[in-house]
Amino acid sequence: MGSLRLALPSEGALYKSTEDFMRSCGMAVRRANERRYTAEVPALPSVEVLYQRQTDITQEVDTASADAGIAGLDRYYESRREGGDTVLALEDLGFGRSQLIIAVQESWLDVTTVSDLADLALEFRERGRELRIATKYPRLVKRSLTARGVNYFTLVQASGALEAAPIMGYADMIADIVDTGTTLKENRLRPLADGVIIKSQAALIVNARSLAEDSEKLRQVREVLERIEAALRARGVQRITANVQAESVQDVARLVMSDRRFGGMHGPTVSDVYSDDGRKWFAAQVVVPKPDVMGAVDHFRRLGGSGITVTDATYVFRKECESYDRLEQEVARFAPASGKPSHAKRGRVPRGKLD
């Protein structure tokens, strides 16, 4: 049994956003300097961070050089070993959004859809050569185009800025990751109307076999998932507290619940306020979705509420960690057939208080 090895991007678009995300989930990474490729998470002493190139993280997890990692969903599907040990623990971490798209030259006025592209590829074939597509995602591109009837093309694997490929003449078009699409326009390229191959974002991947063979690592992954899932859930809500004058706790609860939209997840929390004005005051607290905050504030005003405060939630935990429950089922498939049973084989990792 050892430390959980967590691979994080060392460069590229996901580097800074991953560090910010880890910090927002209460798992800030402490790294001695940018030239060092190992780091630690003070909140999780048993987790060792390994900084890896974004393109290598899926392979590192696949080979169990790392037990878990944060990678783009596009890179996961492009690089993972079919039938391997790596699985998605959380498919959407809420950042790193992009799309793998097919883009053609603006001058190709008659090519607006993949169907048009299939016809064009056939024309190229009849002229004695195949359509050349520059990409860093040959696996995903080939699978998508073939499935949609584009049968004649050659993939040109390239590094660097693919947008220049048609201008430089080593490809006719490109299939690449885009965010805003501005760079495409500047290089006289445009995406096909139905040219999205995959919508991507940062995801958490794990080696299920590695976790099945080490119950301590499985416990550590549970804590990581608990923190991430609760932090993501908290982003969508805010806590509202107001002082309300009434005769009893029950009266306050009835008033707040008179409009169920603003009654909180399961109802309000109401407690005594020890006032020196001789009147009975109670503090009512609810958690509501962010879009409903102003509606909830007005609701408390109508109830005569005062001292209304709105605060962000750090975590919102549910009875169970849904992502961990799903992961347990994946891990169970790799549980040892004999020998000392792991937690995955026996059932659930104990859900005691988080360290």
For residue 125, report the phi and psi dihedrals to the nearest 5 degrees: -60, -45
Res 351 pLDDT > 60: no
Return d(Cα 31, Cα 29) in angstroms, integer.
Answer: 6
Neighbours of 248 (CB within 10 A): 11
CATH superfamily of 4-95+201-234: Periplasmic binding protein-like II (3.40.190.10)
For residues 227-237, give the mean pLDDT.
97
Give the Cα separation of 355 and 353 in Å (integer). Answer: 6
The one-character DSSP state at 213 is T
Report the alpha-carbon distance of residue 49 to residue 39 in Å, rounded. 5
Tokens of 61: 């997890």
CATH 3.40.190.10 in the chain, residue ranges: 4-95+201-234, 98-198
Q: pLDDT for 13-65, tens place per residue?
A: 899 999 999 999 999 999 988 888 999 999 999 999 999 999 999 999 999 99
Residue type for 78, please? E
Contact (CB, 8 A) for 149 and 189: no
Give the pair of three-digit tokens for residue 118: 């299939």
Residue that the structure tokens 């390229």 belong to: 189
- Spatial strand order of the sheet with 86-90 comes to 38-40, 47-52, 4-9, 68-72, 202-207, 86-90
- The tokens of 353 are what? 């208080």
Topology of domain 98-198, per CATH? D-Maltodextrin-Binding Protein; domain 2 (3.40.190)
First to last CA, the chain: 18
CB 68 within 8 A of CB 204: yes
Of the pLDDT bands very low, low, confident and very high (cuts 50, 70, 90), residue 337 is low
For residue 352, report the phi and psi dihedrals to the nearest 5 degrees.
-75, -170
pLDDT at 349 over 50: no
> CATH 3.30.70.120 region(s) of the chain?
237-312
Tokens for 328? 């347990």
**With a threshold of 0.75, does the pTM exceed it?**
yes
pLDDT confidence of residue 341: 42
Q: Has residue 284 got a pLDDT over 60?
A: yes
Report the CATH fold assignment for 237-312: Alpha-Beta Plaits (3.30.70)
Q: Which amino acid is at 94?
A: G
